[in-house]
Amino acid sequence: MSSRRLATVDRAAWDALPGMVVLLDAAGDALHVNTALAAFARREPARLLGRSWQELLDADSRRQLIERLAGRQDFAVSLPWAGAGGETAWVEWSGRWRADTRQWLCLLHDASAGKRVESEARAQASLFRLLADNVPVLIAYYRASDFQCQFANKAYARTFGTDENAIVGKTFADVIGKAASEQIQPMVELMILHQQAASYERQLPQPDGSTRFIEVHLLPHVGEQGQTIGAFVLISDITKHRLAERAVRESEERLAKFMQASAEGIVFHKDGFITDANPPLCALIGYSLDELLGRPTLDFVAPEHVARVATVMAAGQETAYESAVVDKAGRRIAVEFIVRTMLRGGERMRMTIVRDIRDRQAAQARIHHLAHHDALTGLPNRMSFMEQLQHHMAAAESEGTRLALLFIDLDHFKRVNDSLGHLVGDTLLRTVSARILASLRGTDVVARFGGDEFMVLLHGGPSQEQQHDDVDEVARKLLAAIEVPVNADGRPISVTPSIGVAFFPGDASTPDELIKNADSAMYLAKSRGRANHQCFDRGMADSAYAALVLEGQLAHALDRGEFELYFQPQVRLRDDRLVACEALLRWNHPERGLLLPDQFIPVAERQRLMLQIGQWAMKEAARCALRWHAMGLGISPVAVNLSTVQFQSVGFVEAVALVLAEDGDAREAASLLELELTERMLMDDLGEVKHRLLRLKALGLGIAVDDFGTGYSSLGHLKELPIDKIKIDRSFVHDLPGNRDSAAITRAIVQLGLSLGLSVIAEGVENEAQRQFLAQQGCEQIQGLLIGAAMPAAKFEDWVKQRREAERRA
C-alpha cells in the first residue's frame, strides 16, 4: 500500500512539473502520464495509459524503445514523434529503471527546435562549400592569431598540393612554403595592422615546369571589438592574361627587329599618315625619316595609282599588288606593295612592304619579247602567232569577215642546212622572212612557226569567191618572191615554198584545226611536186591524206635509218643523283625534220609498223644500255616505251627475248632495261596481263606503269601485278603545286607507291616549285626539262659525264 501512496504523491508532483514524464511498468504499459506529456501529445492522459502511448511512435522507434525497456538499464535515446499535429517532432527519452518498484520512470524532452537548427546549419554549410568549390577563384580563410587555415575551397587546397580537409589547421607557411611566406610577410603584417586589404601578384612554379601567374587579394576579417580575427585569401589565375601580354610584347619586339633588319622598304601608316619607316624605304624614295613622318601616305604614290591605293587602304585589304611611287627627285619607281594590317603598340596599323620591281619589270618585258619573237628573223613566234590567231578568229566571227591561213614550208631546206651550214641556212631564213613581209599588206600577220615553217594570216571581206582569188594571188606572189636566188657565200642558191591554205570559217572552227588543215594542204602541195600551193578540202579531212603520205614514208624509214632514240635523264630526289633515263623515239624526216612520236606513232600503230619500230627501239636501247654499262656510266635502267600494239601482239615476249639475246648476254641486257606500259594497257584481262608481265619479269626486265593517274585503274588491280615503278603523269605535275586536285592526286599516288613498295617517279618536272613539292611528298625520282631534255645518244653521254664530274665535286 505504501507504494500506492507514494505513487499518488509522485503523480501529483509529476503533474506539477513543466517537463514530460511517463511511468511504465516492467512490461512497458503506461501507469501514469503527466499533464505536460498529455498536452504535448494532445490527448487525454487516460487515453495514453497502457499500450496506447505507443501509438505516438512509428514502428521503428517503437521497436527501438521496447528493446531498451527490455534491457532494464537506464538509457537515453532520441526518437521521432509522430505527434498529433501531423508534423514530426524529435523527442529525447531518458529512462531510469527503478529496480525497487520494477518500474520505468521516463523523462521526455522535445528536441525538435535544436534538431532543426542543426540540420539547417548543416545545409547552409554544404551550400557554402558547394559555392566555394564552384567559383573560379581560390578561396581560403586563415586565423589571425596563429595563421592556421580554417577553411579552403577545393581549388585552393589542390593548388597547394593538398585537399580541403587536410589543409585545415595548417599554417600559412606550411601551405605556401617558407620562402613564399617570408616574401609575403610584409603584406600580411600590413593587412593585419592597418586592417587594409592588400593585393599582390606572384608566380607559381608548377610540377610540370611551367609557371602560373596568380593575383592574390588579402582581406582582413575584423571582429566586433575592432581586432583582426582572420584573413580571407582570394586568388585568381591570370596566367592566360600574362602570357597573352608577353606574346604581344615579343611579337612587337620581333617586328621592330625584322623591320630594321629587312633589306626591303617597310613603312607603317595609320589612318593614311606615315608613322614609321625603315632605312631601305628612306633610301628607295630619297627622303629622310623625319621628312616622312606624319605625311599622308598617298603623297608618295604615283598619280595614276592613287585611286587604287586609296581603295585598298580604305577597305583595309590584306593584299599584294603592283603600283608605283615617286621619289624625292620626282622619278617614278615601279614597286610591289604587300600590305598587312597589324597591331603595334596596341594600335591597329597598316604595314606596307615596298619592293622595288624595276629590274623584275625590265626582265619581264625582255622575256615577253623573247617569248613572243623569233630571235633569228624578229618575226612573231609560234606562241605569239597562236595568240593572235585566236584573237583574229574571234574578231572575224563577230564581224562576219573571213580569214585565210597560209602554211609555208620551204622545200628541201634541210639539205641546204646540212650541205652549206647553219650560217647559210640562217641567212636564207632571214631573206625569206623579209620577202614574205614585203609581199603582204601591213595588216596581214606573219610568223615563223619553227624551223623552215612560216605562217601567214590574211584578212578578207565577206565574199568567199573574192577571198579565193585574193589568196591565189598572194600565194603566187609569195612563190615568185621566195624562189628568187639568194647570194650565199658568193653563189646563188634558190629555195621554193610549198604552201597549204585553209579558210576560216569554212575549213575549221578552232585555231588548232585551222593550222592542222593548212598543214595537210601543204603536204598535198609537196606531194604534187612542191613549189605550188594547195587549198584544204574536206576530202583530205581527218588527216587521212597526211597519214597516207606518212605511211608511205614510214615503211621506208626503218630501212633508211631515219629513226633515232633520244634519252632523257632521271634523277633521284634524295641526293640529286642521276640514276636512270628514258628512251624516246624520234624520226628524222627527210623533209619535215625532226618528228616527235605523237606525229607518227598513231599512224605506225594503225599500220602495225609499230611492231618493227618498237623492236628496233628496244634493240637500240639495249645496245646503248650495254655500252654505257661497260663504260661505267651508272645509268640503269634505261626505260623503253611499249605500244599497245606491241604488248598485245602474239609472240611478243618471245620477240623481246630474241632482241635481248642479239647482243650477247640476254640476262645482262634485260637487267639494264625497264619497260614502260601505260595504265590503259594493264586494264585488260587481269589474268592474261599478269601472266605476260610475269614472263617479262622472268627475263629480268623491270616494269614501270607510264602516265599513271590517267587510266582509272583500280588499286586492287595494281596490287595483283608484278610492277616495279609508277610514273606520275605529267599532266598532274604540270599543275603543281598550285592546283589542289593535282596536288591531292600526286600525294595519293606517292602514298600508294610507298605502301605497295614501288618506286615513284614524276615526269614533266619543269620548275623548282614542282620539284620541291614532289620532294616534300616523298616522291623518289623526277624526270623533266628541269633536269634535262631528251638528247641524242652521243649528246646524252657527254651530258652524263659532265654531270658525274659535277656530282663528284659536290
In the complex, minimum distance from the CB of residue 700 to ligand C2E, in angstroms, rounded to a whole number = 20
| 445: its cell numbers | 600577220
In the complex, minimum distance from the CB of residue 238 to ligand C2E, in angstroms, rounded to a whole number = 59
Q: Which does 445 bind (CB under 5 to 8 A by kind): ligand C2E, Ca ion, none?
A: none
Q: Is 706 in the site for Ca ion (CB under 5 A)?
A: yes
Binding to Ca ion, residues 76-105 (CB under 5 A): none
Q: Which does 790 bind (CB under 5 to 8 A by kind): Ca ion, ligand C2E, none?
A: ligand C2E
| Residue-level length of the chain | 810
Q: Work out which of 674, 706, 780, 797 binds ligand C2E, going by CB under 6 A.
A: 706
Q: Is 764 in the site for ligand C2E (CB under 6 A)?
A: yes
Binding to ligand C2E, residues 618-647 (CB under 6 A): 641-643
Q: Is 570 in the site for Ca ion (CB under 5 A)?
A: no
* Residues 372, 379: Cα–Cα separation, whole Å: 9
To 5 degrees, how large is the angle CA 619–CA 623–CA 624?
120
Q: Which residues contact 139 (CB under 8 A, 6 or more apart)?
A: 132, 151, 152, 153, 155, 156, 232, 233, 234, 235
Helix/strand/coil for 349: strand
Q: Is 674 in the site for Ca ion (CB under 5 A)?
A: no
Q: Work out which of 103, 159, 534, 641 binds Ca ion, going by CB under 5 A.
A: 641
For ligand C2E, the closer CB: 520 or 643: 643
For residue 409, the tally of other CB atoms under 10 A from its CB is 23
Is 149 within 8 Å of 172 (Cβ atoms)? yes
Number of H helices, E strands in the chain: 29, 32
Q: Is 439 in the site for Ca ion (CB under 5 A)?
A: no
Helix/strand/coil for 453: strand
For residue 249, the tally of other CB atoms under 10 A from its CB is 10
Q: Is 620 in the site for Ca ion (CB under 5 A)?
A: no
Q: Work out which of 281, 601, 660, 669 binds ligand C2E, going by CB under 6 A.
A: 601
Q: Work out which of 143, 730, 771, 803 binds ligand C2E, going by CB under 6 A.
A: 730
Per-residue 3-state assignment (H helix, E strand, C coil) for 164-185: CCCCCCCEHHHHHCHHHHHHHH
Is 761 within 8 Å of 779 (Cβ atoms)? yes
Give the side-chain half-sphere CA count within 13 A for 405: 36
Q: Is 585 in the site for ligand C2E (CB under 6 A)?
A: yes
Q: Is 597 in the site for ligand C2E (CB under 6 A)?
A: yes
End-to-end C-alpha distance for the chain, whole angstroms:
133
Please say whether the dihedral angle defined by the alpha carbons of residues 125, 130, 135 and 139, taken in this order, is positive or negative: positive
For ligand C2E, the closer CB: 204 or 743: 743
Q: Is 598 in the site for ligand C2E (CB under 6 A)?
A: yes
Beta strand 759-763 with 725-728 is parallel
Over the range 78-109, which residues count as b (16 or more CB within 10 Å of their CB) and which as e? ebebebeeeeebbbebebebeeebebbbbbbe
Size of the residue set binding ligand C2E (CB under 6 A): 23
In the complex, minimum distance from the CB of residue 672 to ligand C2E, in angstroms, rounded to a whole number = 16
In the complex, minimum distance from the CB of residue 349 to Ca ion, in angstroms, rounded to a whole number = 52
CA dist list (Å): 449 to 382, 384, 519, 601: 5, 10, 12, 22
From 178-186, 366-374, 502-510, 591-599, span contacting ligand C2E (CB under 6 A): 591-599
Q: Is 707 in the site for Ca ion (CB under 5 A)?
A: yes
Query: DSSP character for 19?
Result: S
From 74-82, 92-100, 385-393, 761-769, span contacting ligand C2E (CB under 6 A): 761-769
Please say whether the dihedral angle defined by the alpha carbons of residues 116, 118, 119 and 125, taken in this order, is positive or negative: positive
Q: Is 676 in the site for Ca ion (CB under 5 A)?
A: yes
For Ca ion, the closer CB: 411 or 706: 706
What string marks each residue from 386 to 425 as x (binds ligand C2E by CB under 6 A) or -?
----------------------------------------
Task: Report the Cα 385 to chain-centroid distance in Å.
Answer: 39
Q: Is 784 in the site for ligand C2E (CB under 6 A)?
A: yes
* Residues 681, 695: Cα–Cα separation, whole Å: 16
In the complex, minimum distance from the CB of residue 209 to ligand C2E, in angstroms, rounded to a whole number = 52
Q: Is 568 in the site for ligand C2E (CB under 6 A)?
A: yes
Size of the residue set binding Ca ion (CB under 5 A): 4
To 5 degrees, how large is the angle CA 96–CA 99–CA 102?
90
Q: Which does 637 bind (CB under 5 to 8 A by kind): Ca ion, ligand C2E, none?
A: none
Q: Which does 534 bind (CB under 5 to 8 A by kind): Ca ion, ligand C2E, none?
A: none
From 19-27, 318-326, 481-489, 782-790, span contacting ligand C2E (CB under 6 A): 782-790
Alpha helical stretches, state H, 238-381: 239-261, 279-285, 289-292, 306-315, 358-372
Q: Which residues contact 380 (CB under 8 A, 6 or more apart)?
A: 372, 373, 374, 388, 445, 446, 447, 448
Over the range 513-536, which residues count as b (16 or more CB within 10 Å of their CB) and which as e? ebbbbbbbbbbbbbeeeebbbbbb
Q: Is 770 in the site for ligand C2E (CB under 6 A)?
A: no
Phi/psi at 511 (nearest 5 deg)?
-55, -45
From 86-94, 349-357, 507-515, 698-706, span contacting Ca ion (CB under 5 A): 698-706
Q: Work out which of 723, 790, 793, 800 binds ligand C2E, going by CB under 6 A.
A: 790
In the complex, minimum distance from the CB of residue 562 to ligand C2E, in angstroms, rounded to a whole number = 14
For Ca ion, the closer CB: 515 or 728: 728
Q: Work out which of 617, 635, 656, 750 binds ligand C2E, going by CB under 6 A.
A: 617
For Ca ion, the closer CB: 374 or 676: 676
In the complex, minimum distance from the CB of residue 643 to ligand C2E, in angstroms, rounded to a whole number = 3
Query: DSSP character for 562?
Result: -
In the complex, minimum distance from the CB of residue 792 to ligand C2E, in angstroms, rounded to a whole number = 12
Binding site for ligand C2E (CB under 6 A): 568, 584-585, 596-598, 601, 614, 617, 641-643, 676, 706-707, 730, 763-766, 784-785, 790
Residues found near Ca ion in the complex (CB under 5 A): 641, 676, 706-707
